[in-house]
């Protein structure tokens, strides 16, 4: 009997142990895992309504640069309607003012800088290596930025468009129009690197054609009249490149050369309209449009400016100034298109 009681006690203890183990196991299984409070990674696309600020530094006011700026703004507004705010500044022909303007753009943190003309481009590249810079109305980027062995792509944060017209064809135009002339004077502003490049190149081409050539540089608009008078007195024909200082002072050149009966062949239409008889012209408005399209691609991330090559004008039209040609008694070939003088 005693043995039976002991067995019963052992069985009861075993049952209690199993019951406690079962309870413990059940509680562990029913304990909830800690809640996952992490949130899924946000992979939403960038807002299509992003806004941008573009700083425009234009060297000086004249027809060609004005047209390039307008074309740029029109193209960018068309590509990104209502998304671009422009800060348009004019340096009034002063390189130091260009530096002041672009430094203010950098301080303001603009998204892109348009540098309209060579001194504006030089100032912008000196001011920042981070903000994208597009040049326009710049003849030769290798010369402007002192790039040895320039291959057509600046790299870094710079690209843009060039207004370089075929310089050999400009020399050929002088020969076509004035084959009996003997001396050609080349007038330009020595402060503009690309003007120096153009007159050096055209001078070499003209000398191949048998002309005697002389360079007539002036430092700024203050001595433009004196230099022009000297060149006019010594030359049968005057050549002016795409020079911004001359472009803003065409009245000075015309008032000296036209009364003397000395024709001026110009590097671009705006100068020809003011003082020239003829030019091999590009559309600066179209050049600006091309630059604006490049800007839209850069701002939206569609293109990498560091690998974006310089875009060059493709179409060139021989044009003439009907007013000055009539005054000088000149009749130009039929393929020359009259410049709109309005």
**Do 142 and 204 lie in a common domain?**
no
CATH number at residue 143: 3.40.50.2300
CA 310/CA 295 separation, integer angstroms: 13
Digits of tens for pLDDT over the chain (342 positions)? 333 343 334 334 444 333 333 333 333 333 333 333 333 333 333 336 799 999 999 999 999 999 999 999 999 999 999 999 999 999 999 999 999 999 999 999 999 999 999 999 999 999 999 999 999 999 999 999 999 999 999 999 999 999 998 999 999 999 999 999 999 999 999 999 999 999 999 999 999 999 999 999 999 889 999 999 999 999 999 999 999 999 999 999 999 999 999 999 999 999 999 999 999 989 999 999 999 999 999 999 999 999 999 999 888 999 999 999 999 999 999 999 999 998
Pairing of strands 264-266, 212-218: unpaired
CA 305/CA 309 separation, integer angstroms: 8
CA 54/CA 164 separation, integer angstroms: 25
**Do 294 and 322 lie in a common domain?**
no
Residue that has been written with the tokens 């129009």 in this structure: 177
**Do 257 and 208 lie in a common domain?**
yes
| CA nearest to 288, candidates 61, 65, 72 | 72
Query: Domain range for residue 293?
Result: 52-163+283-309
CA 166/CA 314 separation, integer angstroms: 10
CA 237/CA 277 separation, integer angstroms: 10
**Do 334 and 199 lie in a common domain?**
yes
Q: What angle do CA 166, 169, 175 make, to 5 degrees?
A: 155
Q: How many residues does the chain have?
A: 342
Task: Let me know if residue 43 belongs to a domain.
Answer: no
Task: Let me know if residue 77 belongs to a domain.
Answer: yes
Question: Is residue 114 helix, strand or coil?
Answer: strand
DSSP 64-108: HHHHHHHHHHHHHHHHSTT-EEEEEEE-TT-HHHHHHHHHHHHHH
Total of domains in the chain: 2
Tokens of 321: 């100034």
Tokens of 164: 């370089």
**Do 334 and 209 lie in a common domain?**
yes
């Amino acid at each position: 009997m005693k043995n039976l009681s002991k067995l019963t006690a052992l069985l009861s203890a075993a049952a209690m142990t199993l019951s406690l183990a079962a309870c413990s196991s059940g509680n562990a299984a029913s304990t909830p895992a800690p809640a996952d409070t992490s949130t899924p990674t946000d992979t939403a696309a960038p807002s299509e309504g992003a806004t941008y600020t573009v700083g425009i530094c234009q060297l000086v006011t004249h027809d060609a640069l004005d047209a390039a700026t307008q074309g740029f703004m029109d193209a960018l507004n068309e590509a990104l309607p209502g998304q671009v705010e422009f800060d348009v500044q004019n340096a009034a022909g002063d390189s130091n003012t260009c530096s002041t303007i672009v430094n203010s753009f950098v301080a303001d943190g603009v998204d892109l800088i348009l540098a309209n003309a060579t001194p504006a481009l030089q100032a912008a590249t000196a001011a920042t290596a981070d903000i994208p810079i597009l040049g326009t109305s710049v003849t030769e980027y290798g010369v402007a930025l002192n790039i040895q062995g320039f291959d057509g792509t600046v790299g870094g944060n710079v690209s843009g468009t060039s207004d370089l017209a075929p310089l050999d064809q400009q020399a050929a135009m002088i020969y076509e129009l004035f084959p009996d002339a003997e001396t050609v004077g080349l007038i330009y502003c020595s402060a503009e690197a690309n003007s120096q490049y153009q007159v050096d190149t055209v001078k070499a081409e003209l000398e191949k054609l048998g002309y005697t050539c002389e360079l007539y540089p002036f430092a700024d608009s203050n001595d433009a009249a004196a230099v022009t008078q000297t060149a006019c007195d010594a030359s049968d024909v005057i050549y002016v490149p795409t020079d911004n200082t001359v472009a803003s002072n065409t009245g000075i050149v015309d008032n000296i050369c036209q009364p003397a009966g000395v024709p001026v062949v110009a590097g671009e239409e705006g100068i020809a309209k003011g003082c020239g008889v003829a030019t091999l012209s590009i559309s600066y408005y179209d050049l600006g449009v091309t630059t604006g399209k490049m800007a839209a691609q850069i701002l939206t991330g569609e293109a990498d400016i560091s690998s974006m090559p310089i875009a060059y004008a493709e179409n060139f039209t021989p044009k003439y100034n009907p007013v000055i040609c009539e005054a000088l008694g000149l009749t130009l070939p039929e393929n020359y298109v009259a410049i709109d003088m309005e």
